[in-house]
Amino acid sequence: MFVIRREPHNPVLSPRHEHPWETLATFNPSVIREENGWRMYYRALSNPAALVSPYAGQSTIGEAFSEDGLHFNIRRQVLMPEEPWEAFGCEDPRATVFEGVTYLSYTALGGYPFSKDNIKVGIAVARDGKNFTERHLVTPFNAKAFALFPERIGGKVVAMLSVHTDEPPTEICLVYADHIEDFWSPSFWETWYTNWQSHKFVLKRNEKDHVEVGSVPILTQHGWLIFYSYIEDYFTDNARVFSVEAALLDHDDPSKIIGRTESLMVPEEIYEQYGLVPNIVFPTSATVGDNGRLDIWYGAADTVCAKASVKMRDLMRALDPELPARTFIRAPENPILSPRGEGFESHNVMNSAAIDIDGSIYILYRAMDRDNTSTIGLAVTRDGIHIDERLPEPIYAPRADFEMKRGSSTGNSGCEDPRIVRINDTLYMTYTAYNGVRAPAGAVSSISVEDFIARRFEKWSVPFLLTPDNVDDKDLALLPEKVNGNYLLYHRVNNIICADLLPDLATGKRVSRCIEVMGPRHGMWDGAKVGSAAPPIKVGDKWLMIYHGVSRHATYRLGAALLDSSGTSLIARTADPVFEPVEKYEKEGEVANVVFSCGAIVRGDTIFLYYGAADRVIGVATASLAHMLDALS
């Protein structure tokens, strides 16, 4: 698991209206870490020039310097169009220091309107590291985003570039040369281009998508780390989603992909969602930061430069193909609970709550019979994995009109997806109530700890609804302690996690507002819907929330977030899922590709996560609490 943290000072570079050459936009930065600070090269966009291209601003390359990596000053224009093949602009620089020389590659615009015939790659050379005294046309064909590796590989000079960016399908390709000068040799490219597709990476998951080189590769002890732009549904304007992904390439053969992420950043912040071109995050650089962090530099909404960071070791762990279990490790005994008999749990068992009382873990799970009526069953484990007792009858069954079957005799109904917390000497169980006719709703019932332990399940209080009528509002979970004398209830309204404060849980008062805690991230693994999983876990003065996220492909995964002491403000959230369907029993069942948790308990440093798999069986997985908190801190 890893967390992407946007720099609070973002954007770190914005247009300056007093500089005519960058009055419209400053974006897509390439940053070099130097002894005294950070040197940034960036695309600077002016207002349209009446005598050049009256309908498009002209791009040049600017330079800025920062001593702290946040405040960039001393701006100057370092590259302006001079040659015919770049007469209409110089865009999107990638800077590499190679064998003591600074090379600045860029997109060269040789005509207007811009097209595949006039968009190519150029390169500028600063042998003193500061002044670009020569420049060359690199590709004679349509290409962009040429990134030079900072050192030779097997004695060769190596680069990667995006080929046919304006003549799709676009591919990211590798190119090897004996000498750096080969890269501006027409005869060299003529030979390479005759079989260019043999040099491509296989990064696209769908032919409707688009990929483009992002950062200059960084050499790590595990291989070459790159960030690149991944655009879903590139050919459909209204559906297009820009995101950032990472890949780890083999040290000696970078054509081999060791591991890769899915989307780790999508447009979320105001400066990413609004600008000259809305909803764009475009990675163009990465540098090794301080305290084990890696800085990702990117263009936001084609208007400003921004910065984000990630812990290097956490990202490397996520890219390690030997660690497919993500953060949580499945128990070899899984599934620990499966349907049985001909009665209340004969069809499916799933989505279990859990509470640890006096050394025993009580697993309250949703059980379905052949008529698709849901009740709550109970199993007990002392070690957290092996089931010591499983009751033959449900401990909670439909009683109220809002959960008694009123629709089809075989339609879904009943008490679903319980969550349970202990507050003082009372256990509160929230669950989804459904009668098959009205919209599912959130309900609550309670029982004393003494009655629960004594198995006096007839003592459950009369349930009542907590959510409004005719609202898609599910996934109810209580914070395990009061906040300023109030109960804090999490609930999912449509596709976001909300919270509300209730003075009591006895008078029938319902939630009436949505304090938005967390929403889906369009284009990521949790892009369609998010909801609470287990009730949050107290960690110091903060709360660890495990939540479920649903992708646009209807896969259910789990993520983690850290909330402040109020339980409502988000401090950090994992970019990748901490648990996802992998095993056959998670991928095949009543509903395919589902891991769905309603309960977790902590013993020492171990989190025991109980989850429904494919809406058919129940499993348990464990993780280190310290590891999760370290990633989120």
- Do 389 and 259 fall within a single domain? no
- Do 304 and 173 fall within a single domain? yes
- Do 170 and 110 fall within a single domain? yes
- pLDDT score recorded for residue 47: 87
- Do 348 and 451 fall within a single domain? yes
Query: How much of the chain, in percent, has pLDDT values that exceed 70?
Result: 99
The tally of domains found in the chain comes to 2
- Do 284 and 344 fall within a single domain? no
Q: What is the pLDDT of residues 291-302, one digit of tens each?
A: 999 999 999 999
- pLDDT score recorded for residue 585: 98
Q: What is the pLDDT of residues 416-438, one digit of tens each?
A: 999 999 999 999 999 999 999 99
Mean pLDDT of the chain: 95
pLDDT above 80 for 80 = yes
- Do 506 and 608 fall within a single domain? yes
Confidence of residue 131 (pLDDT cuts 50, 70, 90): very high
- Structural domain boundaries enclosing 48: 14-318
Q: What is the pLDDT of residues 579-590, one digit of tens each?
A: 999 999 999 999
Annotate 272-337 with DSSP letters as a single string.
HHSSSSSS-EEEEEEEE-STTEEEEEEEETTTEEEEEEEEHHHHHHHT-TT-TT-SSEE-TT--SB
Domain boundary (259, 292, 318) is at 318
Domain boundary (283, 318, 353) is at 318
- pLDDT score recorded for residue 51: 63
For residue 290, the Cα-to-chain-centroid distance in whole angstroms is 23
Residue type, 574: T
Please indicate, yes or no, if residue 7 is contained in any of the structural domains.
no
pLDDT above 70 for 64 = yes
Domain boundary (318, 351, 367) is at 318
- Do 292 and 346 fall within a single domain? no
Please indicate, yes or no, if residue 346 is contained in any of the structural domains.
yes
- Do 53 and 87 fall within a single domain? yes
Q: What is the pLDDT of residues 169-208, one digit of tens each?
A: 899 999 999 999 999 999 999 999 999 999 998 999 999 9
pLDDT above 80 for 52 = no
- Sort 503 into a burial class: Cβ within 10 Å, 0-12 / 13-18 / 19+: exposed
CB contact at 8 A, 537 and 544: yes
- Do 233 and 356 fall within a single domain? no
- Do 35 and 163 fall within a single domain? yes
- Do 365 and 283 fall within a single domain? no
- pLDDT score recorded for residue 323: 76
Please indicate, yes or no, if residue 497 is contained in any of the structural domains.
yes
Structure tokens at 88: 């209409």
Q: Which long-range contacts (CB under 8 A, 24 or more apart) does 322-327 make?
A: 324/582, 325/582, 326/1, 326/576, 326/577, 326/578, 326/579, 326/580, 327/1, 327/560, 327/578, 327/579, 327/623, 327/627, 327/628, 327/631
> Please, which residues have CB within 8 angstroms of residue 595's CB and are 6 or more apart in sequence?
548, 556, 557, 558, 579, 580, 581, 586, 611, 612, 613, 619
Q: What is the pLDDT of residues 96-105, one digit of tens each?
A: 999 999 999 9
Please indicate, yes or no, if residue 500 is contained in any of the structural domains.
yes
Please indicate, yes or no, if residue 158 is contained in any of the structural domains.
yes
Please indicate, yes or no, if residue 275 is contained in any of the structural domains.
yes
Please indicate, yes or no, if residue 3 is contained in any of the structural domains.
no
Q: What is the pLDDT of residues 557-607, one digit of tens each?
A: 999 999 999 999 999 999 999 999 999 999 999 999 999 999 999 999 999
- pLDDT score recorded for residue 168: 87
In our burial notation (b when 16+ CB lie closer than 10 A, e otherwise), range 362-374 reads bbbbbbbbeebbb
pLDDT above 90 for 57 = no
What is d(CA 609, CA 618) in angstroms, rounded to the nearest whole number?
A: 10
- pLDDT score recorded for residue 36: 93
- Do 516 and 399 fall within a single domain? yes
User: What is the CB-side half-sphere exposure of residue 149 using CA atoms within 13 A?
Assistant: 27
Here the CATH number for the domain that contains residue 103 is 2.115.10.20
Please indicate, yes or no, if residue 204 is contained in any of the structural domains.
yes
**Mean pLDDT, rounded, for 339-346:** 97
- pLDDT score recorded for residue 50: 63
